[in-house]
Structure 1
Amino acid sequence: MEINLTVHTTRKRRALLFVEKISSELLSFSMCFFGAIDDAPEWKQPGIRDDELDEFICLLISLYRELKFSVGGLAIEEDMKGLFDVNKVWPNEKYNFVNLTFKDNLYKFQAILINKSLNEKLSEGQYTLIDNSCMLYRNA
């Protein structure tokens, strides 16, 4: 499913929300924004500047507070399916939390939010506890 959105951060942005069933147990929600650093006046889209990343991390945290998802991330040209150690086309039952891994792909994300119940999946690192129920990793 693909849904057109308008998201109001400091600047109003158009986005696409993709909802995909990646296994019988998991849905993937991907919200895609125009991601260039520069604005695109011809498309009437603001780019995402480095100083705006905190706004998107706050958006991720706000979404978690409302939806209580298991894992969420903020990345450029990457999505959450990339965190699964699976080389299969989805939907596929291999997309499950047993195959969730951060070891090789964490660097591709500016931020990862993970429910505390999955904290054994995290390697050692700098994490911030959010609402006593999830952990936030920020790439330096």
Structure 2
Amino acid sequence: MTVNEASSTTYMKGTSSTSASALTKGDRVLVLGTTSVLGASSGTTITATQVIVQPDLVGQLPANYTEGSGTIVSGTAADNATEAALAAYPWGVVDRVVQLSNGEYEVHNITVKWPHHIFVTQDFKVVGANSKMPQ
């Protein structure tokens, strides 16, 4: 696959604007743009409209966090945790909220943009996020 940069390509690192020069080899990125297929031997080319560097972690994970642990919640607690998560990361689509053993919440974001898990305290303050996708 080939990624072409256009003069209008924008770059983001987490939720902040950045430049192409801020990217380093090995960065995990999400490239949004238009594609064209050049043939079986040439592959696919994406003309990037946006490049988003995806950090592994921002903030902190709850102590003793284990992915897949906790209890799915609904109602007011889930609504409040979702509202807090979407205020911090407004492009999200949430499919579930899990209450962890320490009372905090993991808000599960299923959109293509980072992050995948958003961690919210018992009083509905965002304290961290990570991009770990399930294996």
More helix by share: 1
Q: Which has the larger radius of gyration?
A: 2
More strand by share: 2
**TM-score, length-normalised on structure 2?**
0.25
**TM-score, length-normalised on structure 1?**
0.25
Larger RCO (CA under 8 A, 6+ residues apart): 2
